[in-house]
Structure 1
Amino acid sequence: MTDIRRTVLWVVFTFSLLLLWDAWQRHNGRPSMFGGAVATSAAPASAPPNHPATHPAAGPGASVAPAPTAPVAGDIVTIETDRVRAQFDTLGGSLVQVELLGHADDSAERAPMKVLERSRHYAAQTGLVEVAGAPNHTTALRLVSTERKLAEGAQQLNLRFESEPQGGLKLVKTYTLERGSYAIKVRHEVQNVSETALQPRLYLQLQRDGSKFDGGVAQSFGAATFTGPAIYHDKIKYTKVEFGDLDKKAFDGERQAQDGWVAMAQHFFVSAWLRETAGPREFFARRIAPGLYTVGMLVPLNQIAPGATAVADDVLFVGPQEEKNLAQLAHGFDLVKDYGWFHILAKPLFWLLDQIHKMVGNWGWAIVLLVVLLKIAFYGLNASAYKSMAKMKKVNPRIMELRERLKDNPQQMQQEMMRLYKEEKVNPLGSCLPMLLQIPFFIALYWVLLSSVEMRHAPWLGWITDLSAKDPWYVLPALMTASSLLQVWLQPAPPDPMQAKLMWIMPLMFSFMFFFFPAGLVLYWLVNNLLSIAQQWMINKQLGVTH
């Protein structure tokens, strides 16, 4: 029974850390142990920055926005608000780069974080289809507004592009950037300048290379949150589409819906087209060139009579995954914050962490206090587990004596051990269930700390200036390793010498990973270990267990 209890504990412990290891592998571009392809690392230099998306329903030869044979290079227009510095290309009036002024990248210069980025062919594009020759994201547009910077005291800034009549249609595209917001209002006005009624469709798409970037530079270590296209509507809810899957075939899930949005998600940040009004739309996601992908939606416009104008209003969000803000923009939009398998537990844990942070004003101390609260909540379960461990440690010398004396008679040895457990009122499996019940909560907290942009570049104390980066002096990982070894010392030693050695070796092996994990995650594990050690020591002392 002792071996069974210990085996169960090691299986649980090993599986939990195996999940972390697998996430680490996927984040570094290596295949998952559970299957799944690795995304292409980057778009090739030959990939054109305005490569058209292919229509998802019209067959392989059709195009949503056929590019001219020799596209004319557009002019770059830069505007700035209190939140963003944005670059627009007059070729299509596309948003081709966004720098978040309140979020630095991870370079030594701490330049503003780029989400949309010209050098990576990452852009937000729109245009018209279903009418031959209609303006699209490869059409040269004329800039008709003069504002370049949000004026002091002003609440919004407008940027307006107009096309020449093409295919009987004139397209006017207006971006409205507001103070204090990462959400950009985008209005499309489609005027019919022909003599016949026309009914085009508007496409809204995000184009991006397949690289996985975290904070502005590719990361060498760390666990993986999702990077890639995402589609949401009521029929399929939130659906992530892996780049590797798009290398094999275009998105073939439910494409028709009356609501929903599309996004390009990455660690901490997201871009998304959010349609405010209900109505029919068709979703698509596909690879459009080696290492280059697109996700978007097609929206039918009402039939436009000659001389009439159709208007479509949408929201383009480019910014950090701040959960409370995302939830206010669109139904289900907060789901882009990747909590892995434990979303239902992670959301309330983040809410609690956020409330603690409002009181203490420091995310590091908020993590410490949250772990303390969880330990208090599970105090009874832990006490039961640690009492079982303490009793096992107390009778362990007698167990080892039995095993040595009766090693040639296994049946009698098991009978004597069961008698001893009964006399001492020891349950060899008593420490397993309490630990099993707590594991989902602590893994959920792990994902909260991993996914929350609030931790990014957030200081704790002294040398820890960024809770989302590894400890530069490796102090926290070293303390965590020491605490893990102390926990082993407090537990009953296995009678089997090989198992005893493994109990000391395993913490050292897994602690190696923590030297490269973000400081916030290591802090969480360290505090949890220290509180567990304190409780185990107290219980051992109460029961008179010596070491």
Structure 2
Amino acid sequence: METRRLIVFMVISVAILFGWQKFEESRRPPKPAVVANQTANTSASKPAEMSAADSAQLKSSGRLKVTTDVLQLEIDAQGGDIRQVALLKHGDVTDPKKPVTLLQDVKDRTYIAQTGLFADGMPNLPGPRTLFKLPGNEVKLPQGQDSVTVRLEAPELGGLKIAKLLTFKRGSYVIDVDYEITNGSTMPVTMSSYYRLLRDGQAPVGDPKMLYTFTGPAVYTEQKKFQKLEFSDIDKDKARDKYVASCDNGWIGIVQHYFTAVWLPASAKTPAESCDGKTELRYDIKKVGNLYSVGVIRDVAAIAPGQTFKTGVPLFVGPIETAMVAKLAPGLELTKDYGIFKVIASPLFWLLEKLHGLVGNWGWAIILLTVVVKAILYPLSAASYRSMAQMKAMAPRLERLKEQFGDDRQKFHQAMMELYKTEKINPLGGCLPMLLQMPIFMALYWVLVAAVELRHAPFMGWIIDLSATDPYFVWPLLLAGSMVVQTYMSPQPTDPMQAKMQRIMPIAFSVMFFFMPVGLVLYWLVNNLLTIAQQKFVEHQVEQAKKAAHA
């Protein structure tokens, strides 16, 4: 009976899990036919829209390579765009020895960071078509130095001298992107700046096939909090109502499994750029050609003749490590997507992180987390185990009833229910505790799926990546073995077909874990082993209580 309850619990859990995944997958747009290197220029005639009526090829006019201790970038002279970002501390999904590349513009993929200035009557302000002067071919963060700034010079325009400054800091995935504007004319100038990400709609390389993960734009404002937007909603022009377009706080970017690129305009606010209570930021998400434009506009305060003014927005390009991103901006930790289970998942990950701080290994941290959660839920689990022990004790009497009534199933079931009533046994008594545990299981599932901290994290032996499957299937086989043990610990159903199904189902169910990350398999295996131990303990208690009652 206990095994049947366990199977029901697991089947319902997996049904909800994969049902939710299929629902989310159904909302994904079909993969677009990507036209390589296509984007749009910002239109000076429509500054508020950060849009363009015409499209321009992403031309390349020379590259500057920038290397820090955590980032390796390529900046193109054309527009001063950030065309490639590799994360040196995180291995590629196909070759962990190579850094994972987040931003790139290659043959079939486009994902870049682009910025510019615009103003009415000033069509030649620096933008995607501007050819900047690069300071060389390569810049490295010097040893012993905390930061390095790259200065890109734009052609002088009517007395305006404009430079694009990119500052990189040691140990940081945040890039300060600023414009330095010197007004050498005789008239004050007013303009706006924009900062956007341009991306195709394809899923990232190596996106897990068995697991649903979100890829798409995300916006956070104090008014609507964290909002994810499907590419399909942008295609249908249904995205604008889902986020606050004008405010003075928040951030905007694109998230994917484990990583994100986000513009952080609110953290760059300065008194000189305040708008006296007026809206300062305008968020804008749209499709431009075959690419998606996700960005923010901020107005530049009037620059008087002879004045030099600096404006900018930081760009975060990196892993969604909770402790790190939570310090950068309010709500940025929500890019680690726990779905509807975030209320439970967030404290569970907090605990997992604390345990990792104690043991220094994510595999052992998962084991300790499972032990802690299992201990907390023990009062609920014990109710199921006691119910199982009572049912197990009834097995011989049920077998005699079956022999007594033969093929008369109606009389057999009536007699069985009378027996349960006499012995004060609720055959469904263990189901509610298991159902109450289901949200915990689901939350733990999403914690382990979403945690970039487990990516390429070793455990022991051949397990060098807890976010990948076991290449030799040893841990899934151990899990299958634990399920078989649980089957034989449970009372056998009186119906032969049910008994056969009870033996087969755990093995069949365990097959899905052959394609799951090792971290999840490890959690479920330890959970099963603890369940077996707790079950034996409760059975012993019930047996001792029965002996004491008959003494």
Whether the aligned pair in 2 keeps the contact of 1:17 and 1:510 (CA below 8 Å) is no
The match for 1:289 is 289
Letter in 1 for 2:10: F
The match for 2:141 is 150
Letter in 1 for 2:286: R
Q: Deviation of residue 306 (structure 1)?
A: 4.3
Aligned pairs for 1:365-380 (under 5 A) are 365-380=364-379
Q: 1:204 aligns with which of 180, 195, 200?
A: 195
The match for 2:113 is 124
Aligned pairs for 1:59-458 (under 5 A) are 64=51, 73-108=60-95, 110-119=97-106, 120-131=109-120, 132-133=122-123, 134-144=125-135, 148-166=139-157, 170-192=161-183, 195-213=186-204, 217-219=205-207, 221-249=209-237, 251-253=239-241, 254-275=244-265, 276-277=267-268, 280-290=280-290, 292-402=291-401, 405=404, 415-458=414-457
Distance 1:34 1:103 in 2: 27
Distance 1:310 1:66 in 2: 30
Whether the aligned pair in 2 keeps the contact of 1:145 and 1:159 (CA below 8 Å) is no
Q: Deviation of residue 543 (structure 1)?
A: 3.7
Q: 2:18 aligns with which of 14, 18, 21?
A: 21
Whether the aligned pair in 2 keeps the contact of 1:228 and 1:265 (CA below 8 Å) is yes
Distance 2:508 2:66 in 1: 51
Letter in 1 for 2:288: I
Letter in 1 for 2:335: V
Q: Bigger shift: 256-265 or 499-508?
A: 499-508
Residue 121 of structure 1: SS of its match in structure 2? strand
1:147 to 1:153, Cα distance in 2 relative to 1, 3 A: farther
Distance 1:53 1:527 in 2: 55
Distance 1:104 1:34 in 2: 27
Letter in 2 for 1:139: T
Whether the aligned pair in 2 keeps the contact of 1:72 and 1:140 (CA below 8 Å) is no
Residue 390 of structure 2: SS of its match in structure 1? helix
**CA RMSD of the aligned region, Å?**
3.0
Q: Deviation of residue 319 (structure 1)?
A: 0.9
Distance 1:404 1:162 in 2: 93
Distance 1:54 1:14 in 2: 54
Residue 122 of structure 1: SS of its match in structure 2? strand
* CA deviation profile, 1:421-447 (whole Å, cap 9, x unmatched): 233231222212221222211221111
* CA deviation profile, 1:130-185 (whole Å, cap 9, x unmatched): 43412212321122478711111111010011212458754321111011111111
Q: Deviation of residue 521 (structure 1)?
A: 0.8
Q: Deviation of residue 247 (structure 1)?
A: 2.2
Letter in 2 for 1:15: I
Residue 359 of structure 1: SS of its match in structure 2? helix
Residue 240 of structure 2: SS of its match in structure 1? coil
TM-score, scaled relative to structure 1: 0.88
Distance 1:177 1:485 in 2: 55
Whether the aligned pair in 2 keeps the contact of 1:186 and 1:315 (CA below 8 Å) is yes
Q: Deviation of residue 90 (structure 1)?
A: 1.2
Q: Bigger shift: 87-96 or 102-111?
A: 102-111
Residue 198 of structure 2: SS of its match in structure 1? strand
Residue 116 of structure 1: SS of its match in structure 2? strand
TM-score, scaled relative to structure 2: 0.87
Q: Deviation of residue 376 (structure 1)?
A: 1.4
Q: Deviation of residue 506 (structure 1)?
A: 3.0
The match for 1:29 is none
Residue 117 of structure 1: SS of its match in structure 2? strand
1:150 to 1:408, Cα distance in 2 relative to 1, 3 A: same
Q: Deviation of residue 504 (structure 1)?
A: 3.2
Q: Deviation of residue 373 (structure 1)?
A: 1.2
1:137 to 1:348, Cα distance in 2 relative to 1, 3 A: same
Q: Bigger shift: 156-165 or 487-496?
A: 487-496
Number of residue equivalences: 528
Counting aligned pairs with the same residue, the percent is: 42
Q: Deviation of residue 349 (structure 1)?
A: 1.2
* CA deviation profile, 1:22-65 (whole Å, cap 9, x unmatched): 46xx5xxxxx2467333444662x3334434789x989xx7635
